[in-house]
Amino acid sequence: MTSDLRELYQEVILDHNRTPSNFRALEGAAYRAEGYNPLCGDKIQVFLQLDGDRVEEVTFQGAGCAISQASASLMTEAVLGKTVSEARLLFEQFQELVTSETQTPDTDEGLGKLNVFAGVREYPMRVKCATLAWHTLKAALKDSAEPVSTE
Amino acid sequence: MSAVKNDASSSAAPIPPFDVARWRRDFPALEQRVHGHPLVYLDNAATTQKPQAVIDAVVRYYREDCSNVHRGVHQLSQRSTLAFEAARERVRAFLGAHHTEEVIFVRGATEGINLVARSFLGPRLQEGDEVLVTAMEHHANIVPWQLVCEEKGAQLAVIPMNDRGEISLDEAEALISPRTKLVAAVHVSNALGTINPVKGLVDAAHQRGIPVLLDGAQAAPHLELDVAALDCEFYVFSGHKVFGPTGIGVLYGKRELLEAMPPYQGGGDMIRSVSFEKTEFNVPPHRFEAGTPNIAGTIGLAAALDYLSGIGLGAVAAYESELLHYATEQLLGVPGVRLIGTAKEKASVASFVIEGVHAHDVGTILDQQGIAVRVGHHCAQPVMDRFGVTSTVRASVSFYNTHDEIDALIGGLEEVLEIFRP
Ligand SMILES: Cc1ncc(COP(=O)(O)O)c(C=O)c1O
């Protein structure tokens, strides 16, 4: 495997693709949204339950590439227990991580495990795969009825 | 392993071997390396590479003959007008049409279909009417009809396909009804590679007096065409898929139909006389070519068709068919590969999924090895739904592809499996 590909398809990503965390519908979830990537036809649903301002439960469902599935899975792990504004901040940091121009970025301590997605920046066509779940989460937080799209 | 075409056992005169190395040299883009690997370009159904002859023709127009057409008495305008109209004649010959004025230059297959939807179908369509399409249409042969249907309260009817991606003429005939106002069918499917029995479809529609449009976007680069023999009312294709430039395409229409059709867009060149009270429209094809056309595009397209005819579509089709056969056999040897589209009659396209691996990931890993394929729904979402997938990997061959490139594709897929099946 080329080293570039190894950067992208890290073991953590492949593992979460094979056995994603929190991969299920959440019956009676107060917040939910659907995300869609028209480029590849991937669809994802994010379900969210808040306890006051805190993410009490978050799950997802859908089909997609390894990057989008692993990103959704790790996202649910990362935002669980966070406040809504902390989750929003995490999204901003994550977006920065996968799009920043610098060659060898400092990994962001606040991102923890999510740093495995740093390799995505070398693949501009794949940034949308990595951020689809996050865009959908953001929409769920807005309680938007409209399906979001990465376009 | 592979069916060799010039088999000594055949009694006919031996066909000279197809000299793919020679043709490859005509395509400068094929010489490059991508991510450190020689480019393996297997995305020909999306667009084809351009031979030097086409690049030269476009450059020559801009360097030497650049001027508008049909508007000047000066030398340059005369040259470009002659080249532009010669291109129309070139296309006529390529299509086997009876008359040069049956060839309308448009931006591509998409615009050709929209033109027919607006200028031909729209005025005839009434509430409750139907447009009959196949289950394997590109969105370009679905959405333009839906747009006019919605306005008129009409709808689409769909000829189903079997698990191999084939339609049956019996089912098609059964779906033709007094409400059917047009049959619009893809000649060769971009998502599956199926070659449809279009002659039978035209005959079936004509028995009920129904006109037929054929979407030849994927047929033109691979099959010998004869629209007069097919007897279809309309035929469309795109220049960029037959080794010509982007932004140029062709709508063929039967002369008597074109003459009766209102214009598609208004502007210069499409009129005979204009006053503020009344405009008299020009005759076809000019009636449908408002404004300054893509002159360089038509000249490039003519060069592309010259080039293709120089090789011979018969030889191209035979070589490609053997190459596709080889690709199919090799793909079936890769663990977990399922082919989507296994029609008996196919051209160019091997569409497949790999169990447990998303097409998008396959595309990225292949790209890292210099291999260009298309991944996604190929603008044919109903086809994906029919086969229960959201996307496929599509390798589409052209006459400049080699057996070594198919081997590279298979090697690339082994790399995919190595990453995903540790
Ligand atoms: C079968 C088919 N029809 C129509 C089109 C549309 O062609 P264009 O985008 O060049 O107008 C395509 C292109 O992908 C196609 O494959």
User: Ligand 1 atom closest to Cα of B187?
Assistant: 1
Instruction: Give the pLDDT score at B100.
Output: 98
Residue B361 to residue A67, Cβ atoms within 8 A: yes
Statement to judge: residues B155 and B195 lie in one domain:
yes
Domain co-membership, B180 together with B95 = yes
Tell me what pLDDT residue A6 has. Answer: 85
Given an 8 Å threshold on Cβ–Cβ distance, is A2 in contact with B35? yes
Kindly list the distances between the CA atom of residue A1 and the CA atoms of A42, B132, B349, B369, in Å, as whole numbers in the listed order: 26, 48, 27, 10
3-state secondary structure of A63: strand
Q: Cα-atom radius of gyration of chain B, to the nearest Å?
A: 22
Parts of chain B with a pLDDT under 70: 1-15, 422
CATH number, position B107: 3.40.640.10
Q: Phi, psi (5° rounding) for residue B294?
A: -80, 85
CB of residue B140 inside a 6 A radius of ligand 1: yes
Number of other CB atoms surrounding residue A21 within 10 Å: 18
Q: B237 forms bridges with which residues in the sheet?
A: B250
User: Rounded to the nearest whole angstrom, what is the distance from the C-alpha of residue A105 to the centroid of ligand 1?
Assistant: 41
Q: Counting atoms of ligand 1 from 1, which one is nearest the CA of B378? A: 14
Last residue of a domain, one of B290, B309, B328: B309
Q: Show the 3-state SS of chain B.
A: CCCCCCCCCCCCCCCCCCCHHHHHCCCHHHHCEECCEECEECECCCCCCCCHHHHHHHHHHHHHHCCCCCCCCCHHHHHHHHHHHHHHHHHHHHHCCCCHHHEEEECCHHHHHHHHHHHHHHHHCCCCCEEEEECCCCHHHCHHHHHHHHHHCCEEEEECCCCCCCCCHHHHHHHCCCCEEEEEEECECCCCCEECCHHHHHHHHHHCCCCEEEECCCCCCCCCCCHHHHCCCEEEEEHHHHCCCCCCEEEEECHHHHHHCCCCCCCCCCEEEECCCCEEECCCCHHHCCCCCCHHHHHHHHHHHHHHHHHCHHHHHHHHHHHHHHHHHHHHCCCCEEECCCCCCECCEEEEEECCECHHHHHHHHHCCCEECEEECCCCHHHHHHCCCCCEEEEECCCCCCHHHHHHHHHHHHHHHHHHCC
B238, part of any domain: yes
Phi, psi of B287 (to 5 degrees): -55, -30
Q: List pLDDT tens digits, range A23-44.
A: 999 998 999 999 998 776 788 9
Active site members of B = 379
Q: If phi over 0 gives left and psi between -120 and 50 gives alpha, with beta otherwise, what is residue B247?
A: left
The answer, yes or no, to whether any atom of ligand 1 lies below 6 A from the CB of B251, is: no
Look up the domain containing A75 and give its range: 3-142
Token pair of A144 as six digits: 């938007």
What are B342-396's pLDDT values in tens digits? 999 999 999 999 999 999 999 999 999 999 999 988 888 899 999 999 899 999 9
Residues in B touching A66 (Cβ below 8 Å) = 357-358, 361, 420
CB contact under 8 A, A40 and B365: no
Asked whether residue B237 is domain-assigned, the answer is yes
Same domain, B339 and B294: no
Q: What is the CATH number of the domain that holds A68?
A: 3.90.1010.10
Residue at a domain's end among B309, B343, B374:
B309
Is residue B8 situated within a structural domain?
Answer: no
Report the pLDDT value the prediction gives residue B9, as an integer from 0 to 100: 47
| Alpha-carbon B394 to chain mean position | 15
Convert the pLDDT of each residue in B289-329 to its tens digit: 999 999 999 999 999 999 999 999 999 999 999 999 999 99
Residue A42: the pLDDT is: 81
**Nearest 10 degrees: CA dihedral of A118, A119, A121, A123?**
-160
- Number of separate domains in chain B: 2
Based on its alpha-carbon atoms, the radius of gyration of chain A, rounded to whole angstroms, reads 14
Confidence (pLDDT) at B6: 45
**Co-location of B200 and B214 in the same domain:** yes
* Domain match, B117 and B23 both: no
CB nearest to A126's CB, from B364, B369, B415? B364
Give burial (CB, 10 Å; 0-12/13-18/19+) of B1.
exposed
- Give the mutation target among B379, B383, B398 for probing the ligand 1 site: most ligand atoms within 8 A of CB: B379
| One domain for residues B291 and B318 | no
Q: Coil, strand, or helix at residue A28?
A: coil
Contact criterion met (CB below 8 Å) for B183 and B132? yes
> pLDDT tens-digit profile of A74-117?
999 999 999 999 999 999 999 999 998 765 555 667 889 999 99
Which residues are within 8 A (CB) of B412 and not within 5 positions of it... i.e. 6 or more apart? B365, B366, B369, B371
Q: H-helix or E-strand containing A94?
A: helix A84-99
The C-alpha atoms of residue B325 and residue B2 are separated, in whole angstroms, by 7
Residue B7 in any domain: the answer is no
Residues of B in contact with A43 (CB under 8 A): 390
For ligand 1, the distance from its centroid to the CA atom of residue B274, given in whole angstroms, is 35
| CA-based nearest distance A148→chain B, Å | 18
**Distance from B354 to chain A by nearest Cα, in Å?**
12
Instruction: Clarify whether residues B130 and B277 are in a common domain.
Output: yes
The verdict on B166 and B273 lying in the same domain is yes
Looking at the domain assignment, is residue B148 inside a domain?
yes
How many domains are contained in chain A?
Answer: 1
Confidence of residue A149 (pLDDT cuts 50, 70, 90): low
What sign does the dihedral A134-A138-A144-A149 (CA atoms) show?
A: negative
Per the CB < 8 Å rule, is B360 touching A126? yes
Same domain, B278 and B346: no
- CA A50 from centroid of its chain's CA atoms: 18
**Amino acid identity for residue B252 in this structure:** Y
Residues B60 and B161 in one domain: yes
**CB count, 10 Å around CB of B112?**
31
Spatial separation of the C-alpha atoms in residues B238 and B221, rounded to whole Å: 10
Q: B-chain residues within 8 Å CB-CB of A2?
A: 35, 368-369
B contact residues 392-421, partner A, Cβ 8 Å cutoff: 415, 418-420
Distance B241 CA to ligand 1 centre (A): 8
Determine the distance in angstroms separating the CA of A1 from the nearest CA of chain B, rounded to an integer: 7
Distance B4 CA to ligand 1 centre (A): 31
Q: Is residue B322 part of a domain?
A: yes
Q: What is the ipTM of this complex?
A: 0.86
Q: Which domain covers residue B340, as residue numbers? A: 15-44+313-420
Cα distance between residue B187 and residue B226, in whole Å: 12
Residue A148 is assigned to a structural domain of this protein: no
Which residue has better confidence, B4 or A60?
Answer: A60
Chain A: which residues have CB within 8 Å of chain B? 1-2, 4-5, 8-9, 14, 39-43, 63-67, 69, 123, 125-126, 129
Closest ligand 1 atom, CA of B108? 11
Could you tell me if residue B10 is inside a domain?
A: no
Q: Which of B47, B48, B106, B110 to mutate to test the pocket of ligand 1 (most atoms within 8 A of CB)?
A: B110
Note whether B120 and B256 are same-domain residues: yes
**B359-367 and B403-420 helices cross at what angle (nearest 10)?**
120
B209 close to B255: Cβ distance less than 8 angstroms: no
Q: Are residues B391 and B403 in the same domain?
A: yes
User: Measured between alpha carbons, how far is residue A88 from residues A53, A54, A83, A131 in Å?
Assistant: 12, 12, 9, 13
Taking CA atoms, what residue in A is nearest to B393? A40
**Partner-chain residue, chosen from B357, B365, B376, that has the shortest CB–CB distance to A5:** B365
- Tell how far CA B78 is from the center of its chain: 31
Question: What residues of B are in contact with residue A64 (Cβ under 8 Å)?
Answer: 358, 360
Domain final position from B309, B331, B356:
B309
Q: What are phi and psi of A148, to 5 degrees?
A: -85, 160
Going by alpha carbons, the residue nearest to atom 16 of ligand 1 is: B190
Torsional sign, CA B238, B241, B245, B246: positive
